[in-house]
Amino acid sequence: MTDLILSTLAQGLIFSIAGLGIYISFRILDFPDLSVDSTFTTGASISAISIINGVNPFISIVLSLFGGLIAGSITGILHVKFKITNILSGIIVMIGLYSVNLRIMGKSNLHLFDTIHIFSEKNHIYKLAFLIIFTLFLKVIIDFFFKTEIGYVLKAVGQNQKFITGMGFDVDRYKILGLALANGLVALSGSLYTQYQGFSDISMGIGLIVSALASIVIGEMAFKNLKRFGVQNSSIVILGSIFYRGILSLALQIGVEPSDLKLVTALLMVLILSKGIFNSSKEKIVKRRLNSDFIKRYIQNFQ
Amino acid sequence: MKLKKTVLSGVITFFSIVVLTGCASFNLDASTLSEQDSAMDKEIFIGISQIAEHPALDNAREGFKESILELAEGKKIVFIEKNAQGDISNAQMIAESFKKDKVDMIYAIATPSAQSAYNTTKDIPIIISAVTDPVAAGLVKNINTPGTNVSGTSDLAPIKKQLELLLELEIKPQTIGFIYNTSEKNSEVQLDVLKEEAKHFGIEIEALGVTSITEIEQGLDVLLNKVDALYTPADNLIASSIRFLTSKALEKSIPVLGAEVAHVEGGALFTLGVDYLELGRQSGEMAYRVLTGENISEMAIETSKNPSISINLDTARILGISIDESILQKSELIGDK
C-alpha cells in the first residue's frame, strides 16, 4: 500500500513540472499551447536516446530541457512573427514534432531497462526524496524568476499587452520567452517520466494537455483557500497535480469499469470546470484590479 | 452573493470528492480483508494489465482466462482486470497497484503494459502476450532463455509462410505495399521482417507510414498505384480501418494479405497467422506451467503454434482467383461458399 502511495506521489510530482509549464502558457501568458503533448515526448525521446548512448542521465535532463526550449520558441515564433493564431501554431508544432520525435528515437519505443538512469535505483523512498528536492528546487527558481523584471513583464503580457507595449517592452519577445520556458519545463517532465517508467514511447504524451489542465483546475478549486495564507500559485499547481494523480489512482483501485473510465473523468471535469465558468467573470475583474495595482506598484519601483 | 454561492459549490465539490475517495478507500480495505481471508484457501491472484480496448487484445485476454480456468480446475483463480485506456501513465499505475496487491502473477497484454509491469517488479512472474519483439522491448535477454521474470507469447506473424502461401495461390507480385501506423513499434518489426523475407522471393516492399485514420485514404490512393498486392500488418490503426482498406484495394483488383484473421473477416483475401484467442490460450498454458513451479526465466518465448489459414471466399470471387481444393480443405473459410 505504501509503495502505491509513494509512487502516486512520485508521478504527481513529475507531472507537476509539466503542470507548471502549462500553467505558464495557459494561465500566465493566456496562450492555449497545444504543442505540449508532443514536447513531453520530445523530452522523453532526447533523454532516452542520450542515456542509451552513454550520456549522464542528469545531463540528459538538461538536453531535454533545451529541446523543449527550442520547440517552445518555434511555437512562439510561428505565432508572433508569422502571425499564425495561437491554437494553430501549437497544433503545427505538435504535428511536426511527431516526426522529429520518431527521428530522435529512431523507432517508436525505446527501453532503458539495461541502462543506469536516475530511477534505476528501485527504492521508492529514494525516488520520492529525489523528486521532492528536485521539484522544490525548480519551484524556487520559477518563483524567483517571476520576481525579476523579466518575470514581472511576462506576467503582465498575458494580462494587458497594450500596456506593456506602451511601456516600451517588446511583447513578442516575451511571448516567445514564455512559451520556450513552458515547453522546456514540459520536456523536462517528459525526461523524468521516461526514466521513471523505464521506457520511452512515441504515444506517451497523448492526453497530457487534458490531464495537466484538469490537475491545474482541480488544484485551484481544492486549494484556493490556501492562497490566503500566502501559498504561491506554483505550490498550488504542484499540490493539484498530486491530488489529481491520487484521484486517478483511486479510480483505478476501485476498479471503475474500464469502458466507463473516460466518461467518469469527463463528468468530473464538467463538474469542476463548470464552477470555473460561473465564477470566472467576478474573478477576472478582481484579477484585473489586482493587476493594475501591481502594475502601478511596478512603475513606481522602476521610476 | 454569487461569489458566496461559488465558494459554497466549490466546497461541496471538494467534499464530494473527499467522500467519494473516502468510500473508495473503505471498499479497498474490505477487499484487502477478503484477500487475506482467502489466502487460507490458496486463491491465486492474477493481475491482467491491458493497454487498450481492442478486439485482438480482448481475445488475448479471454483466451488466457479460458485456458487457465480449464487447466487449473479445482483451484480458485481470481482475475483482477485493469485497462489503461491507451494512456501509458495509467499502465504504470496499474502495475504499481498489482505490486501493492501482491498478486501471484501479472498477465500483460501489449508492449507498453509489459514494459510498465517489468519496470515495476522484477519478482512477480510476468506472462506477456501480443508483444511482437520482447527482446527489442527490453523484456527478455533472448527468446530462448529470457533470464528475467518475463516470458509469454509473441504475436509475430509467420511472414515467411505467408509469402509462400501467396505464391501457392498463384499470386506473384513484384511489389507488395505495406501500410502501417508509425507509432506502433510492433508494425515496424513486421515491416523489417517482411522486407528481409521478401528479398528471398525477389519481391520489393513499398511501405507507407501513417499516423491517423484520416491519412489512410490519401496515402492508399498513391500506394495502390505502385503495388500489385497489399500487406496489412497487425496494427491497431490498420485493424480499425480494415474494411475501408480492403474495399479500396478490391476496387483496383489488388489482393490483400492480412496479418490476422480479423483482417480476412474485414475483406482481406487470406491470412496465415495469429489467432489472438489461441495466442491467449497459449499464454495461459505457459502461465499454468509457472504456477506449477516451472522457472519463468528459463521458459522460451513462444510464437503462435498453430498458425491457421483463413480465406475470404467472397473476396476471392471478386478477384477471380480460384483456390486449390487442397488449400481450401485445411483453411477456415469466410464468406459464401
Q: Closest Cα of chain A to B159: distance in Å?
A: 21
Q: Report residue B244's pLDDT band, with 50, 70 and 90 as the boundaries.
A: confident
Mean pLDDT of B80-103: 89
Contact list, A257 vs chain B (CB under 8 Å): none
Burial of A2 (0-12, 13-18, 19+ CB in 10 A): exposed
Angle at alpha carbon of residue B89, lines to B140 and B262, rounded to 5°: 65
Q: Closest Cα of chain B to A119: distance in Å?
A: 10
SS3 A201: strand
Q: Do the domains B159-273+307-334 and B42-155+278-303 match in fold?
A: yes
SS3 A256: coil
CB contact under 8 A, B138 and A114: yes
Whether the pLDDT of residue B268 is over 50: the answer is yes
Contact list, A15 vs chain B (CB under 8 Å): 89
pLDDT for B26: 37
Residues 6+ apart with CB under 8 A from B180: B187, B188, B190, B191, B207, B208, B209, B210, B233, B235, B237, B238
- Out of B2, B82, B188, the one facing A107 most closely (by C-beta) is B188
Q: For strands B44-50 and B105-109, give the pairing.
A: parallel
CB contact under 8 A, A250 and B24: yes
Quick check: ipTM above 0.85? Answer: no
- Out of A204, A247, A275, the one facing B6 most closely (by C-beta) is A275
Residues 6+ apart with CB under 8 A from B288: B67, B68, B71, B72
Which residue in chain A is spatially nearest to B27 when comparing CA positions? A254
CB contact under 8 A, B185 and A108: yes
Contact list, A111 vs chain B (CB under 8 Å): 115, 137-139
CA A149 to chain centre: 22
Q: Report residue B180's pLDDT band, with 50, 70 and 90 as the boundaries.
A: very high
CB contact under 8 A, A275 and B97: no
Report phi then psi at A115, rounded to 5.
-115, 165
Instruction: Please give the CATH topology (third level) of the domain spanning B159-273+307-334.
Output: Rossmann fold (3.40.50)
Cα–Cα distance, A58 to A233 (Å, whole number): 27
Least confident of A44-53, B104-113, B202-211, B234-243: B234-243
Contact list, B185 vs chain A (CB under 8 Å): 107-109, 201
Residues 6+ apart with CB under 8 A from A18: A36, A40, A185, A186, A189, A190, A208, A212
CB contact under 8 A, A275 and B89: no
Query: Which of A210, A247, A254, A259 is the best substitution to test chain B (most B C-beta atoms within 10 A)?
Result: A254
Contact list, A204 vs chain B (CB under 8 Å): 88-89
CB contact under 8 A, B138 and A113: yes
Contact list, B53 vs chain A (CB under 8 Å): 258-259
Cα–Cα distance, B189 to B187 (Å, whole number): 5
pLDDT in tens, B305-322: 877 788 999 999 888 888
Which residue in chain B is spatially nearest to A195 when comparing CA positions? B119
Report phi then psi at B227, rounded to 5.
-125, 165
Q: What is the 3-state secondary structure (H, E, C) of chain B?
A: CHHHHHHHHHHHHHHHHHHHHHHHHHHHHHHHHHHHHHHCCCCEEEEEEECCCCHHHHHHHHHHHHHHHHHCCCCCEEEEEEECCCCHHHHHHHHHHHHHCCCCEEEEECHHHHHHHHHHCCCCCEEEECCCCCCCCCCCCCCCCCCCCEEEEECCCCHHHHHHHHHHCCCCCCEEEEEEECCCHHHHHHHHHHHHHHHHHCCEEEEEEECCHHHHHHHHHHHHCCCCEEEECCCHHHHHCHHHHHHHHHHCCCCEEECEHHHHHCCCCEEEEECHHHHHHHHHHHHHHHHCCCCHHHCCCEECCCCEEEEEHHHHHHHCCCCCHHHHHCEEEECCC
Number of H helices, E strands in chain A: 11, 2
Which three cell numbers, joined as nine digits, stand for B210?
Answer: 501513417
**DSSP symbol at A218:** H
How much of chain A is in helix, strand and coil states, percent to nearest 5? 80, 0, 20
SS3 A199: strand
Cα–Cα distance, A145 to B116 (Å, whole number): 36
pLDDT above 70 coverage of chain B, percent: 88
Of A50, A54, A16, A282, nearest to A134 by C-alpha is A16
Please check whether residue A27 is in contact with residue A291, taking contact to mean a CB–CB distance below 8 angstroms: no
CB contact under 8 A, B27 and A254: yes
Domain count, chain A: 1
Q: Is B100 on the interface with A (CB under 8 A)?
A: yes
pLDDT for B134: 93
Q: Closest Cα of chain A to B211: distance in Å?
A: 9
Boundaries of every domain in chain B: 42-155+278-303, 159-273+307-334
Report phi then psi at A158, rounded to 5.
-70, -25
Residues 6+ apart with CB under 8 A from A289: none
Cα–Cα distance, A292 to A79 (Å, whole number): 26
Which residue in chain A is spatially nearest to B148 when comparing CA positions? A113
Q: Closest Cα of chain B to A254: distance in Å?
A: 6
Residue A159, domain CATH: 1.10.3470
Contact list, A249 vs chain B (CB under 8 Å): 93, 97
Cα–Cα distance, B137 to B114 (Å, whole number): 9
Mean pLDDT of chain B: 84
Please check whether residue B179 is in contact with residue B212, taking contact to mean a CB–CB distance below 8 angstroms: no
Q: Is B25 on the interface with A (CB under 8 A)?
A: yes
Contact list, A7 vs chain B (CB under 8 Å): 92-93, 96
One-letter identity of residue A37:
D
Contact list, A17 vs chain B (CB under 8 Å): none
Residues 6+ apart with CB under 8 A from A99: none
Interface of A with B in 19-48 (CB under 8 A): none
Q: Is B99 on the interface with A (CB under 8 A)?
A: yes
Burial of B71 (0-12, 13-18, 19+ CB in 10 A): middle
CB contact under 8 A, A206 and B87: yes
Whether the pLDDT of residue B18 is over 90: the answer is no
Cα–Cα distance, A42 to A26 (Å, whole number): 20
pLDDT in tens, chain A (303 residues): 677 888 889 999 999 999 999 999 998 998 999 999 999 999 999 999 999 999 999 999 999 999 999 999 999 999 999 999 999 999 999 999 999 999 999 888 888 988 888 888 777 888 899 999 999 999 999 999 999 999 999 988 888 888 888 888 889 999 999 999 999 999 999 999 999 988 998 888 888 888 888 888 888 887 878 877 778 889 999 999 998 888 878 777 776 665 566 677 677 667 766 655 544 444 555 555 555 555 555 555 544
SS3 A108: coil
Contact list, B85 vs chain A (CB under 8 Å): 258, 261-262
CB contact under 8 A, A197 and B92: yes
Identify which has the larger pLDDT, B128 or B171: B128
CB contact under 8 A, B17 and A247: yes
Of A112, A140, A143, A131, nearest to A50 by C-alpha is A112
Which residue in chain A is spatially nearest to B11 when comparing CA positions? A222
Tell me which residue has cell 461569489.
Answer: B3
Which residue in chain B is spatially nearest to A119 when comparing CA positions? B119
Q: Is A277 on the interface with B (CB under 8 A)?
A: no
pLDDT for B9: 52
Angle at alpha carbon of residue A118, lines to A117 and A120, rounded to 5°: 60
CB contact under 8 A, A107 and B85: no
Element (H, E) at A116: none
Does the model's pTM come out above 0.90? no
Instruction: Please give the CATH topology (third level) of the domain spanning B42-155+278-303.
Output: Rossmann fold (3.40.50)
Of A243, A213, A157, A294, nearest to A34 by C-alpha is A213
Query: Which of A52, A111, A277 is the best substitution to test chain B (most B C-beta atoms within 10 A)?
Result: A111
Q: Is B160 on the interface with A (CB under 8 A)?
A: no
Contact list, A194 vs chain B (CB under 8 Å): none
